[in-house]
Amino acid sequence: MVPEIIPSMQKIPDQRLEMNSGHRWFNSVPIALQPSILINPLPLPMPKPDLAFGYSEAAFTEDQLGTIDLLVDDQFGRSYAVPDKRIQFPFLQIATNQAAGAGAIALKGTMELMERSFGLEHFDYEKPQYFSVSMDHELARINVHWVKAAAEGGQPSFHVEHLSKYLLDDASGIRAVSRAIKNILDDGADARLSALCSALDRYRATVIRDRAAGNAQRNQGHDGSPRADKGDGAAT
């Protein structure tokens, strides 16, 4: 659908970005449809974007890619960062309908990285972290997805709002939505990517520090274990 309406989107100019078409996010960590239900809550349906944009492996160093592999859920073994096993940290989706579920999954992944690196107190709840474009053959709407911080003892809530809309019945409308999408992609390859890399580096440093501390503690336990003294035996 998108290439016919927006020809410039047929190829991404930045090799650090990646797009995927029509793939279900089968590797995503499930998010409860009603977080207030604590016993076996129903998950949100797995998204299947018409077109999704995120990062390629070229966007990250080898160390950062290794750190991304650690961002998995202990219960399901699925990835917070690579929901379709191809795109890292998706931040834009184009579809024929709203993408609230995909936005929630992507936002949860970003929050998980922040929690493991700098801590959620440094998560910017005011900054848009995910965008979607819902369109038909007449109209395109750009939506922004955001997170409301959890109340004490509660869960964060995920929201989506319309940001702008464009008529697609003339060339000016198509150019306008193409520019808007390009701006989102440009920001993704710049400020957003830089923030993700910083968080990955911090998380990796935390993992290495914690492992070193654990090894030191185990070694100390071995060194301090009781040992028989050969000189304690009575002479006969």
What pLDDT digit, counting tens, does each position of 217-230 carry?
888 866 655 544 54
The answer to whether residue 233 is domain-embedded is no
pTM score of the predicted model: 0.85
The answer to whether residue 1 is domain-embedded is no
What is the C-alpha to C-alpha distance for residues 170 and 199, in angstroms, rounded to an integer?
42
Answer whether residue 236 shows pLDDT above 50. Answer: no
The answer to whether residue 15 is domain-embedded is yes
What is the C-alpha to C-alpha distance for residues 84 and 24, in angstroms, rounded to an integer?
6
The answer to whether residue 188 is domain-embedded is yes
Answer whether residue 32 shows pLDDT above 90. Answer: no
The answer to whether residue 231 is domain-embedded is no
Range among 120-124, 148-152, 232-236 with highest mean pLDDT value = 120-124
Range of the domain at 28: 7-212
pLDDT category of residue 2 using cuts at 50, 70 and 90:
low
The answer to whether residue 131 is domain-embedded is yes
Per-residue model confidence as pLDDT tens digits over 201-218: 999 999 999 999 888 888
Q: Is there a contact between 188 and 175 (Cβ–Cβ < 8 Å)?
A: no
Cα-based distances in Å from 152 to 60, 114, 149, 155, 156: 35, 19, 9, 8, 10
The average confidence (pLDDT) of the chain is 85
The answer to whether residue 224 is domain-embedded is no
Domain count for the chain, please give it: 1
The answer to whether residue 223 is domain-embedded is no
Mean pLDDT of the 118-133 span: 93
What is the C-alpha to C-alpha distance for residues 118 and 199, in angstroms, rounded to an integer?
7
Q: What is the pLDDT of residue 56?
A: 97
What is the C-alpha to C-alpha distance for residues 90 and 58, in angstroms, rounded to an integer?
15
Answer whether residue 231 shows pLDDT above 50. Answer: no
Per-residue model confidence as pLDDT tens digits over 143-180: 999 999 888 767 888 999 999 999 988 889 888 998 89
> What percent of the chain clears pLDDT 70, i.e. is strictly above it?
83
Q: What is the pLDDT of residue 117?
A: 98
